[in-house]
Amino acid sequence: MANVAVIGAQWGDEGKGKVVDWLASRAELVIRFQGGHNAGHTLVVGNQTYKLSLLPSGLVRGKIGVIGNGVVVDPEALLAEIARVREQGLEVTPATLRIAENATLILPLHAALDRAREAARGERKIGTTGRGIGPAYEDKVARRAIRACDLAEPATLSDKLDELLLHHNALLRGFGADIFEKSAVLDWLLGLAPRILPFVEPVWERLDEARRAGRRMLFEGAQAVMLDVDHGTYPFVTSSNTVAANAACGAGVGPGAVGFVLGIAKAYCTRVGAGPFPTELHDETGRLLGERGHEFGTVTGRRRRCGWFDAALVRQAVKVGGIDGLALTKLDVLDGLDELRICIGYDIGGETFRHLPAAPGAQKAARPIYETVEGWSESTRGARSWAELPAQAIKYIRRIEELVEAPVTLLSTSPERDDTILMRDPFQD
């Protein structure tokens, strides 16, 4: 049977948590392959609502969760999240959660630098969560990162901290921020080590064994293609590659193991934080979408900006993200609207584009070219079969498929796990 990778096809917050949870019931391992605790997935299971940031969603279904080497891990945040879900009755132990030994750790100095930089940007803020994700990825690339395996070697930690603090304290002084003492950081890390190390292993071996045994694996992405550090709306992006190609590198498997790529997109569009958003609505319709969709970030708590579905953007995500099929979520939020709009391209300085260019000036100047379609008065909420959908809703979905050049293989009609319509099983060969 095929494996599946789930990625966002817009700017994140598309409802990946529900879809991953729905798919995880038939997977044996669920692997996070990039991002940090700036990502958030909300899972509604019966009368319990789980808000996860670092933990793979499959843990809620009793599956083995793996945090891959492509993830940057704040050990304190991870332990706090484990404690929180344990209070909800979820079992998280070294038997159910594994962490790649070569995963980079986020330290308090990373968050301090993240916040100092963002404050210094003033009106040009990027909109980071201030949790240290970007600086941790920088250290990884610069070959000075503290990794999970280093917690087992106090001498290695001590030597690495000399270089790390030389770099970060110089930057923090430049921003007028407090610096960090080596002894305090070292004591903090050594104090966490006994609680983190039982979860640590060379996870690539576990995943290779699973692949050879034909065990189903679900690769869980964070954020979305338009926040990819290479392919997104740079510099208003995250600090990792969010496309499916990174599932292999960020988990420690060959590209052939990734399998079917399922892209998640809302039936409209949202974005948190700063950055270009061509279809953003500042009117009553935008407010209505936000209220109906309960558009508040799981991690940030910030209200999401709302707009019409951007087919040009999602088509771009399909191409660069390697998406084989779409899961369209929150269709019910559009119920009762007389007409809907779909962005089919952009007008930039009088020239028409079918994609969003990479240049920041062009992105800011992009004006959506809309196609108007008829809405529907009937309710789609809770629909569990194609036959239960209004004719105009089906036409809307079919038009999206044509414009993004990818099939809608799964449809979500409410936050409830079972309110899902499956057109093609992504786990099917």
Backbone angles phi, psi at 201, to 5 degrees: -160, 170
Q: Annotated catalytic, 13?
A: yes
Q: How many H-runs (helices) and E-runs (strands) does the chain carry?
A: 12, 20
- As a whole number of angstroms, the distance between CA 16 and CA 37 comes to 15
Catalytically annotated residue among 13, 114, 139, 310:
13
Going by C-alpha positions, the residue among 36, 105, 26 that lies closest to residue 71 is 36
- As a whole number of angstroms, the distance between CA 10 and CA 325 comes to 14
Backbone angles phi, psi at 288, to 5 degrees: -65, -45
- In the structure encoding, which two tokens stand for residue 48, read together? 């319990």
Q: Are 99 and 196 in contact (CB under 8 A)?
A: yes
Q: Is 202 left (phi over 0), alpha (psi -120 to 50) or beta?
A: beta
DSSP assignments along 62-80, one per residue: TPEEEE-TTBEE-HHHHHH
Backbone angles phi, psi at 250, to 5 degrees: -80, -10
- The CA dihedral of 231, 112, 140, 156, to the nearest 10 degrees, is -170
DSSP assignments along 9-37, one per residue: SSSS-SSHHHHHHHHHTT-SEEEE-SB-T
Catalytically annotated residue among 21, 37, 41, 324:
41
Going by C-alpha positions, the residue among 277, 242, 248, 278 that lies closest to residue 263 is 242
Q: Are 369 and 425 in contact (CB under 8 A)?
A: no
Peptide bond into 235 cis (omega under 30): yes
User: b/e string for 309-325 if b means 16 or more Cβ within 10 A?
Assistant: bbbbbbbbbbebbbbbb
Q: Annotated catalytic, 162?
A: no
- Can you point out the beta strands (E) in 146-226? 200-201, 217-220
Q: Are 376 and 267 in contact (CB under 8 A)?
A: no
Number of neighbours of residue 338 by Cβ within 10 angstroms:
8
Q: Which residues are catalytic?
A: 13, 41
